[in-house]
Amino acid sequence: MLSEKHISIVKSTIPLLESAGTAITEHFYKRMFSQNPELKHIFNLSHQHSGGQPAALFNAVAAYAKNIDNLGALTGAVERIAHKHTSFNIQPEHYPIVGHHLLETLRELAPDAFTPEVEEAWGAAYGVLAGIFIEREGALYHRSANETGGWQGARQFTITDKTKESELVTSFVLTPVDGQAVIDFEPGQYLGICVEPAEHEYREMRQYSLSDKPNGKQYRISVKREAQATPGVVSNYLHDHMNVGDSLDVYPPAGDFHYEEREAPVVLISAGVGVTPMQSMLEMLAAKSFAKPVFYLHACEGVEQHSFNQRVETLGLSLDLQHHTWYRDIAHSNEVADVSNIHQGFMNFATLRDALPIDSGDYYLCGPVAFMQFAKQQLIELGVDSCRIHYEVFGPHASL
């Protein structure tokens, strides 16, 4: 329990944190990785290079300081981070390491302000936060280990099917080597996987959304080949080097973003590889012969990058489904240019205003952050209550 003095001191450091910005967390990560390089086996180093992870951590630290006297306001963030931590197999013994480097970072960047009283207050504050995460993560680990088909830690799976879904996306069906059952998951959740690419010094851990409904026997993930200036290490390794018969380590399903069962219309909105958790939801809704209207709205570059296109058509036979696709360019896709549910350009909900369940639907978004911000703003302007808009960010979290 934090004292009033501790709370007061931590809140007094908020201006200092805000003036330093992400310089704090950038310094923190450099310090921690230089002195504890074994943690590079856990953290996604690509997110360090992009700046996404330092920014996400800074936002989390600042939010904690601002709400240290009202921790209930952080419940959603704690749940999201705890799920992500379990997919990395974060353990209680990692927290003292992180706490040490956080306090030393504050000492090194603000030696004049980091008095013994400030150190004591932040040390106590970090201890409380670490305790919250350790408790919640422990509960998640316990649940994953004790449900039918469950386990804790790494479990070996074999690739039993590899299917190209589109120009950039390939699906991998993962079946446990031990031949036993696997724990069910909520459509929208993800798997943590661990691989050891050749010529890479560290193991690489990533999370990929599950793209099929639960079946108790195996999982399917669908992975986009990242072909940016710095190619995705793991996505390219999976595409180019992992084949049927190869094995990898898998951690139990996790994630706080998932379909919430209600007797209400469902609107699934995605762009690019953000289609994967939506596909899982659609597969589940079709399997249950969901009676309410379902809308499946997707945007991608063109027909060559449209994953699950034919599968959505098939699933629509067991649902009250409306599906629309926006291609950035359909000039070279004459076979779809005249179809009424194919559109060119940015996703625009105005044309669907009369059909969408503005007052009653549950809306699920996944895709690039800028796309989700754009989509959410349109929904708000149409009158959709923000509490019915749910979203997932691939990578470090960002607010819409």
Q: Would you say 393 is a known binding-site residue?
A: yes
32 CB-near residues (< 8 Å, 6+ apart): 39, 97, 98, 101
Token couple for 370: 């800028």
Answer yes or no: are the C-beta atoms of 270 and 326 closer than 8 Å.
Answer: no
State whether 352 and 281 are in the same domain.
yes
Is the dihedral angle over the CA atoms 342, 348, 351, 355 positive or is it negative?
A: positive
- CA dist 65 to 6, 12, 73, Å? 11, 9, 12
Of 201, 222, 254, the position where a domain reaches its end is: 254
Question: What is the C-alpha to C-alpha distance for residues 119 and 111, in angstroms, rounded to an integer?
Answer: 11
Catalytic residue among 26, 126, 137, 327: 137
pLDDT at 34: 92
Other Cβ atoms within 10 Å of 281 Cβ, number: 23
Answer yes or no: are the C-beta atoms of 87 and 251 closer than 8 Å.
Answer: yes
State whether 130 and 167 are in the same domain.
no
Question: What is the C-alpha to C-alpha distance for residues 7 and 185, in angstroms, rounded to an integer?
Answer: 39
Of 254, 281, 311, the position where a domain reaches its end is: 254
Question: What is the C-alpha to C-alpha distance for residues 208 and 177, in angstroms, rounded to an integer?
Answer: 20
What is the CATH classification number for the domain harbouring 212? 2.40.30.10
Q: Look at residue 260 and tell me if it is in a domain.
A: no
Question: What is the C-alpha to C-alpha distance for residues 66 and 63, in angstroms, rounded to an integer?
Answer: 5
Question: What is the C-alpha to C-alpha distance for residues 96 and 103, in angstroms, rounded to an integer?
Answer: 11
Answer yes or no: are the C-beta atoms of 375 and 324 closer than 8 Å.
Answer: no
204 CB-near residues (< 8 Å, 6+ apart): 44, 194, 195, 196, 197, 233, 234, 237
State whether 276 and 235 are in the same domain.
no
State whether 58 and 171 are in the same domain.
no
User: How many helical (H) and strand (E) elements, i.e. helices and strands, does the chain have?
Assistant: 12, 12
**Do β-strands 342-344 and 321-327 pair in parallel, antiparallel, or remain unpaired?**
parallel
Catalytic residue among 29, 64, 95, 327: 95
Answer yes or no: are the C-beta atoms of 327 and 333 closer than 8 Å.
Answer: yes
Q: Would you say 85 is a known binding-site residue?
A: yes
DSSP H or E stretch at residue 192: strand 190-195
Token couple for 88: 């990395």
Q: Look at residue 399 and tell me if it is in a domain.
A: no
Question: What is the C-alpha to C-alpha distance for residues 41 and 334, in angstroms, rounded to an integer?
Answer: 47
Q: Which residues pair with 362 in a beta bridge?
A: 266
What is the CATH classification number for the domain harbouring 32? 1.10.490.10
Q: Look at residue 80 and tell me if it is in a domain.
A: yes
Answer yes or no: are the C-beta atoms of 199 and 240 closer than 8 Å.
Answer: no
Question: What is the C-alpha to C-alpha distance for residues 64 and 134, in angstroms, rounded to an integer?
Answer: 16
Answer yes or no: are the C-beta atoms of 396 and 367 closer than 8 Å.
Answer: no
Active site residue 237: no
Q: Would you say 207 is a known binding-site residue?
A: yes
Q: Look at residue 397 and tell me if it is in a domain.
A: no
Instruction: For residue 159, give its domain range.
Output: 155-254
Q: For residue 239, which amino acid is it?
A: H
> What DSSP letter does each residue of 117-166 carry, written as one string?
HHHHHHHHHHHHHHHHHHHHHHHHHHHHHHSTT--SS-EEEEEEEEEE-S
- Give the number of domains in the chain: 3
209-266 tens-digit pLDDT: 999 999 999 999 999 998 754 557 889 999 999 999 999 999 999 999 999 999 999 9
Q: Would you say 276 is a known binding-site residue?
A: yes
Q: How does pLDDT run along the chain (400 residues), one tens digit per residue?
A: 789 999 999 999 999 888 888 888 889 889 999 999 988 888 766 655 555 677 778 888 888 999 999 988 889 889 999 999 999 999 999 999 999 999 999 999 888 888 999 999 999 999 999 999 999 999 999 999 999 999 999 999 999 999 999 999 999 999 999 999 999 999 999 999 999 887 777 788 999 999 999 999 999 999 999 875 455 788 999 999 999 999 999 999 999 999 999 999 999 999 999 999 999 999 999 999 999 999 999 999 999 999 999 999 999 999 999 999 999 877 655 555 557 789 988 999 988 999 999 999 999 999 999 999 999 999 999 999 999 999 988 765 666 6
Q: Look at residue 84 and tell me if it is in a domain.
A: yes
Q: Angle at CA 252, nearest 5°, toward 73 and 134?
A: 40
10-68 tens-digit pLDDT: 999 999 888 888 888 889 889 999 999 988 888 766 655 555 677 778 888 888 999 99
Q: Would you say 138 is a known binding-site residue?
A: no
Q: Would you say 101 is a known binding-site residue?
A: no
Looking up tokens 């070279």 gives 332
State whether 32 and 130 are in the same domain.
yes
Active site residue 137: yes
Is the dihedral angle over the CA atoms 31, 21, 118, 110 positive or is it negative?
A: positive
Q: Would you say 232 is a known binding-site residue?
A: no
DSSP state of 358: T
Q: Would you say 187 is a known binding-site residue?
A: no
State whether 40 and 139 are in the same domain.
yes
Question: What is the C-alpha to C-alpha distance for residues 285 and 291, in angstroms, rounded to an integer?
Answer: 9
CA 171 to chain centre: 18
Looking up tokens 């710095």 gives 230
Of 254, 280, 305, the position where a domain reaches its end is: 254
